[in-house]
């Protein structure tokens, strides 16, 4: 329910307006002439706004119109969207006009067969005209109620028992709005009769009887009383009482000039009788939210674009800096390559120099050969000399014989000479390490026989006569 609303009632073309500001009635207005159609409904609304000095946005409208009619519909036990789809199909089947229908419904007591509801059907073009009329007047129609929805509230105010079934008939300006229900507000049937008892009482009486009978047939319930609401005279009551078989009474509810407008305020916007869907009710708020959201998103988009531009500028700057450094890096890389090559060349050259110049093999062979001429004792005759470079050392091999001698102990002479040669080689400048000697005694007490045998073996290796063999010697050694 809205605290601030322009509440309109349009019953049989008679339009009344009630302006409510924050729950307080601030103005009322009644149109002097009837509203014949809705083609210029915006003007009517503007008049009502001006007449009531209404300042607000929301509009509600209670409508009793010949084209707004009701149908009792039995439904399967379904809810929500399923019920909605079911009703949409039923609306297409039940509508009595060619155009699309705007519709709402009022739940009723179950019939004998199934669950039921009263479907309110209203031509969609009229509905559009009402909505657009309010919109053109700068207002928003939040509630469009059939008069039955408002009248059903009167059931609770009737002086009837809880189990009694009452029929309330209201004069709604050339039409009669009928509601049948119990005191607890539970409705059995709601409908609009196209005549008023003040104009065509007989037709109304016939319709009321048919309605009572229809309720008996459909629900198995008997209407216990009939209450008239609106412009009712004693004559009307008497005439009706004569035509219908249930007690006819006048409703205890007082008909104020703006009864319908005031009662409509008590019906919630979300009531299922409302011909304005919840989506449309919230359309203004949604539009505002949409605008705010749109604005925020627009700002966000601008912010995103600005962020993108800013970061792209940063990215380009970084990449440009990196690109600017690339030639320098390449130049440095080239310089490093040159220096590395220089280093490689340097070490290669050093290695080369070491190999060619520093590690040169000295002509030790010649030196040693020359040296031999000085150190070989006169008693010895050198017949074989070999010096050879092996790995990191020189190996030498000397062989020879004893010079012819008159000494009666040539072996001793040989041993002495060889020993002398060996000592000279060892202690001389070449520091020869003697590895094998044949022809030298092993100690002072060595026997001549042993010496003779060893020399004989050496002589056997080099050939020669027996005497020669006995006087031969061999020295082997190594030096660095």
Partner 1 sequence: MKALGPIPPEIYRALTVRLIMLIVFAGSVGLAWWSVIQLPPAERKLEQQNKRIATLESDIQFLEMKPSPLEAEQVAAKYNQAQQLLFSGLEEAKGWEQLKRQPNLLLLTAEPEVRFLGKTQALSILSANLELQATNSPYSRYTNSAYKALLDFAQQLTSQSKRVDLMELTISGSSNSVSVAKIGLHLWTQETGP
Instruction: Report the site for partner 1 in 382-401 (rule: CB under 8 A).
Output: 382-389
| Tokens representing residue 218 in the block | 């459909």
Q: Cβ closer to partner 1: 22 or 360?
A: 360
Pairwise CA distance, residues 109 & 114, whole Å = 9
- Of 24-32, 46-54, 59-67, 281-289: span binding partner 1 (CB under 8 A): 281-289
Distance between CA 127 and CA 123 in Å, rounded?
6
For partner 1, which is the closer residue by CB, 23 or 303? 303
Residues 53 and 133: beta-carbon distance below 8 Å: no
Residue 476 binds to partner 1 (criterion: CB under 8 A): no
- Footprint of partner 1 on residues 31-60 (CB under 8 A)? none
Among 34, 50, 66, 84, binds partner 1 (CB under 8 A): 84
Considering only 66, 138, 252, 363, the residue that binds partner 1 (CB under 8 A) is 363
288 binds partner 1 (CB under 8 A): no
Instruction: Write the interaction track for partner 1 spanning residues 107-126; mark x where CB under 8 A is met and - where it is not.
Output: x----------------x--
Structure tokens at 48: 């009502």
Q: In the window 125-164, what residues touch partner 1 (CB under 8 A)?
A: 127
Binding status of residue 373 toward partner 1 by CB under 8 A = yes
Among positions 234-273, residues that touch partner 1 (CB under 8 A) are 270-273
Q: Which residues pair with 29 in a beta bridge?
A: 17
Q: Is 199 in the site for partner 1 (CB under 8 A)?
A: no
Q: Rounded to an integer, what is the distance from CA 470 to the centroid of its chain?
A: 111
Name which of 394, 395, 388, 381 is nearest 473 in CA terms.
Answer: 381
Check if the beta carbon of residue 26 is closer than 8 Å to that of residue 261.
Answer: no
Q: Does 277 bind partner 1 (CB under 8 A)?
A: yes
Q: Return the range that interacts with partner 1 (CB under 8 A); candidates 3-11, 29-37, 185-193, 334-342.
A: 334-342
Tell me if 82 contacts partner 1 by CB under 8 A: no
Among 61, 276, 421, 474, binds partner 1 (CB under 8 A): 276
* Least distance to partner 1, CB of residue 264, Å: 14
Instruction: Indicate the residue among 117 and 248 with the shorter CB distance to partner 1.
Output: 117
| Residue 29: its H or E element | strand 24-30
Window 289-318: contact mask with partner 1 (x via CB under 8 A): -x--xx--xx-xx-xxx-xxxxxx-xx--x
What H or E segment, with its residue span, contains residue 60? strand 58-64
CB atoms within 10 A of CB 99: 13
Please state, as a whole number, how many other Cβ atoms lie within 10 Å of the Cβ of residue 384: 11
Using CB under 8 A as the binding criterion, the count of chain residues that bind partner 1 stands at: 89
| 242 contact partners, CB below 8 Å, separation of at least 6 | none
Task: Please name the helix (run of DSSP H) or strand (run of DSSP E) that holds residue 262, with its range, or none.
Answer: helix 259-265
381, 412, 446, 478: which one binds partner 1 (CB under 8 A): 381
Residue 326 binds partner 1, judged by CB under 8 A: yes
* Cβ pair 392, 480 in contact under 8 A: yes
- Is-contact 458 439, C-beta < 8 A? yes
How wide is the angle at C-alpha 311 spanned by C-alphas 303 and 296, nearest 5°? 10
27 versus 410: smaller Cβ distance to partner 1: 410
């Amino acid at each position: 329910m809205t605290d601030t609303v322009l509440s309109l009632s349009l019953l049989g073309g008679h339009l009344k307006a009630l302006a409510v500001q924050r729950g307080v009635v601030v103005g009322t207005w009644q149109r002097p002439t009837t509203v014949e159609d809705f083609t210029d409904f915006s003007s009517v609304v503007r008049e009502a706004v001006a007449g009531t000095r209404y300042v607000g946005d929301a509009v509600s409208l209670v409508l009793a119109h010949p084209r707004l009619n009701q149908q009792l519909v039995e439904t399967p036990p379904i809810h929500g969207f399923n019920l909605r789809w079911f009703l949409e199909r039923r609306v297409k089947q039940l509508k009595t006009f060619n155009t699309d229908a705007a519709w709402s419904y009022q739940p009723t007591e179950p019939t004998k067969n199934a669950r039921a509801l009263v479907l309110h059907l209203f031509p969609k073009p009229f509905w559009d005209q009402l909505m657009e009329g309010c919109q053109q007047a700068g207002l928003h129609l939040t509630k469009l109620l059939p008069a039955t929805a408002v009248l059903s509230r009167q059931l609770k105010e009737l002086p009837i028992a809880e189990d009694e079934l009452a029929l309330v008939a209201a004069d709604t300006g050339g039409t009669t709005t009928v509601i049948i229900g119990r005191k607890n507000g539970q409705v059995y049937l709601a409908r609009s009769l196209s005549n008023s008892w003040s104009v065509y009482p007989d037709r109304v009486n016939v319709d009321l009887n048919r309605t009572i009978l229809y309720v008996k047939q459909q629900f198995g319930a008997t209407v216990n009383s009939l209450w008239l609401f609106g412009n009712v005279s004693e004559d009307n009551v008497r005439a009706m009482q004569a035509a219908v078989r249930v007690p006819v009474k006048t409703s205890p509810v007082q008909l104020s000039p703006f009864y319908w407008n005031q009662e409509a305020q008590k019906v919630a916007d979300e009531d299922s009788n409302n011909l304005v869907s919840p989506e449309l009710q919230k359309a203004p708020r949604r539009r505002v939210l949409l605008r705010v959201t749109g604005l925020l998103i627009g700002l966000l988009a601008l912010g995103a674009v600005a962020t993108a531009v800013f970061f792209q500028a940063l990215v380009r700057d970084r990449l440009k800096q990196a690109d600017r450094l690339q030639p320098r890096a390449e130049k440095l890389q080239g310089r490093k390559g040159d220096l590395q090559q220089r280093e490689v060349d340097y070490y290669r050259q050093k290695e080369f120099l070491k190999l060619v110049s520093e590690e040169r093999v000295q002509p030790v062979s010649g030196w040693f050969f020359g040296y031999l001429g000085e150190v070989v004792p006169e008693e010895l005759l050198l017949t074989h000399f070999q010096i050879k470079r092996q790995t990191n050392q020189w190996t030498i091999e000397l062989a020879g014989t004893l010079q012819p001698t008159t000494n009666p102990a040539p072996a001793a002479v040989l041993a002495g000479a060889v020993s002398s040669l060996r000592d000279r080689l060892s202690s001389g400048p070449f520091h020869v390490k003697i590895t094998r000697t044949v022809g030298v005694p092993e100690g002072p007490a060595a026997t001549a026989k042993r010496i003779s045998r060893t020399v004989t073996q050496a002589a056997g290796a080099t050939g020669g006569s027996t005497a020669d063999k006995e006087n031969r010697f061999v020295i082997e050694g190594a030096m660095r």
